[in-house]
Chains A and B, each alone.
Chain A
């Protein structure tokens, strides 16, 4: 057996692989947070819950509709992205409207819907709440549709968006916990990616590489690089960057900035759901999977620099590896090393490693 720095190679590379896998999830999730933060100026605390929802949608597609992993990889981000669009339109955007009538419609319709479904139709609390949320969102959407475009907006502090999305995260997690419990649901590896390869160096086995894990790393790299390319190198990305800097001027050029904001939020959320589907066969599908991950992801975002696209990708993968290394050489610190780095970075470079100081 080969040893490196006194550590068996299988253990070392095994941990590094695990680090890289975690890093893949950090990267995709912090990328979505960065895109959303850039344009919406909102720290999306619901990101972890939507990642979890992505995994659950994949599980539901398989168990209720018989739709497998590969379709889920496309459908779950579309479905959860759609939920994100509804959240942005009905909960986040009205935060900055000077006129709150849409919010009153939303709250009123949700409350009445809950009472009717819960007492009138004797549904369980979870189902009644989900139904009421659908009714509320539908009523508010119809109301918003009928009224002239919202021309008057007010600037709101980050804090409101943060609190709102934090509340939404708790509600979403609570609903899934009520319905599915916390023990976790199994989701199998797709048969095409079962098994693995023994990786050898000069005929000596170094490590065993499960196919599915290799796929997760490759898929997340592709998604991250494609997103980076789209934002930094295309016309669409130029609109996004410009609107991040000066949304007022971009709309004075005739661009529909509110629509861009909605679609950007939907896209960021779809990224989270994509990560959720990737994660489903590795971790069990569990209502708390997002809450556990998102705290680390926020640390990654802070280290990389709030809103930096490349920063979140590089930092995500790097910190995953750092965590893996720490598990091998100093396991006691493995769960805190990212937060220690975060503190150090904040002390030295408060805007983050890739962030622009404002």
Chain B
């Protein structure tokens, strides 16, 4: 696969990618899980990482935010090389992370969960705007964080990083295990965030959902990005994609 094909459309032109990843490798202890991941995300884009279980999608997000204990290669954000930074410094550049397990804190109320991530850049949403986006959170603000339903926890997990002023959102399977009506709500939220200028990297198993929100799709296999499919060409490549995903 030619390198150039994996670059964002904008990369060839003057506009620099917001997120540039090249040759990223990462390890869980002794086991080597990423073997040279390379891709770009342009400002304002929504891209997905598709792939089977164990292809390295979640690990890629964890490596971008810097919580893998060992990673090499290059991850630049807004022109800043982050590979040697601890995760707290990377987050402060303006990245928001929504982990796969949602990461709602049981010992904090919904409101405390919402207020927990520190504001890292100006221009984040206000609590009132987040409540407009996810009205359920307002009603449940006094409840214990983990007493929320799965969908509400997902909304809380997304909502709390919108406050921080992060420009790049890393969402790990935000629709996993949720009812269709909630999935739609999450989809509308992502569209709305895209309109507001957020850049989003989305890990998804469900490419039908991914298709409704993304500009481009990167396909991962065995710890590498093996293909890039623009959303407009997804239908034409559907058989290839089925082969990649093994569905």
On chain A, the residues within 8 Å of B112 by CB distance are 238
Query: How many whole Å from A218's CB to the nearest CB in chain B?
Result: 29
Shortest Cβ gap from B160 to chain A (Å): 8
Could you pull out 14 A-B pairs where Cβ atoms are within 8 angstroms? A149-B89, A151-B84, A151-B85, A153-B69, A154-B69, A235-B115, A238-B108, A242-B116, A251-B87, A252-B88, A252-B99, A253-B88, A253-B118, A254-B89
Q: Cβ of A176 < 8 Å from any Cβ of B? A: no
A252 touches B97 (CB 8 A): yes
Of chain A, the residue at the smallest CB distance from B93 is: A254
**CB atoms of A251 and B106 under 8 A apart:** no
Across the interface, name the chain A residue whose C-beta is closest to B65.
A252
The CA of A152 and the CA of B115, in the complex, are separated in Å by 28
Tell me if A248 and B67 are in contact (CB < 8 A).
yes
The answer to the question of A22 belonging to the interface, with a C-beta cut-off of 8 Å to chain B, is no
Interface residue tally on A, bucketed by range: 20 to 34
Let me know if A244 and B88 touch, CB within 8 A.
no
Minimum CB–CB distance for A250 against chain B, Å? 8
**A244/B107 in contact, CB under 8 A:** yes
Interface residues of B in 53-112 (CB under 8 A from A): 65-67, 69-70, 84-89, 91-92, 97, 99, 103, 105-108, 112
A252 contact from B67, B69, B84, B106, Cβ within 8 A: B67
Q: A257 CA to B69 CA in the complex, in Å?
A: 15
Question: A255 to B116, alpha carbons, bound, how many Å?
Answer: 10
Q: Complex Cα distance A12/B152, Å?
A: 55
Docked-complex contact B106 and A152, CB < 8 angstroms: no
Q: Besides A151-B69, A238-B108, A249-B97, 13 other CB < 8 A contacts?
A: A149-B86, A151-B66, A154-B69, A239-B116, A241-B105, A245-B105, A252-B67, A252-B91, A252-B97, A253-B116, A254-B92, A255-B88, A255-B118
CB distance B115 to A254 under 8 Å? no
The verdict on A192 contacting chain B, using a C-beta distance below 8 Å, is no
| Contact indicator B107/A245 (Cβ below 8 Å) | yes
Q: B234 at interface (Cβ–Cβ under 8 A)?
A: no
| Most chain B CB neighbours (cut-off 10 Å) among A98, A149, A253 | A253
Q: Hey, which chain B residues are within 8 Å of A100, CB to CB?
A: none
Number of interface residues of B (CB under 8 A): 28
Say if the beta carbon of A148 comes within 8 Å of chain B.
yes
Contacts of A244 in B (CB 8 A): 107
Q: How far is the CA of A238 from the CA of B108 in the complex (A)?
A: 7
| Complex contacts, B88 vs chain A, CB 8 Å | 251-257
Residues of B within 8 A of A (CB): 65-67, 69-70, 84-89, 91-92, 97, 99, 103, 105-108, 112, 115-118, 120, 161, 164
Instruction: Tell me the bound Cα distance from A298 to B73 in angstroms.
Output: 47
Residues of chain A lying within 8 A (CB to CB) of residue B116: 238-239, 242, 250, 253
Closest to A148 in B: B84
User: A197 contacts the other chain (Cβ, under 8 Å)?
Assistant: no
Q: Which residues of B contact A241 (CB under 8 A)?
A: 105, 107-108
A257 to chain B, nearest CB (A): 7
Q: Is the CB of B91 within 8 A of A253?
A: yes
Chain B residues whose C-beta falls within 8 Å of the C-beta of A254 in the assembled complex: 88-89, 91-92, 117-118, 120, 164
> Which residue, of B70, B117, B161, B164, has the highest number of chain A Cβ atoms within 10 A?
B117
- For A153, A238, A252, A255, the residue with the greatest tally of chain B CB atoms inside 10 Å of its CB is A252
Q: Kindly list chain A residues whose C-beta atoms are within 8 Å of the C-beta of B103.
A: 246, 249
Instruction: A109 to B9: give the CA distance in the assembly, Å.
Output: 56
Q: How far, in whole Å, are A256 and B118 apart by their CA atoms in the complex? A: 11
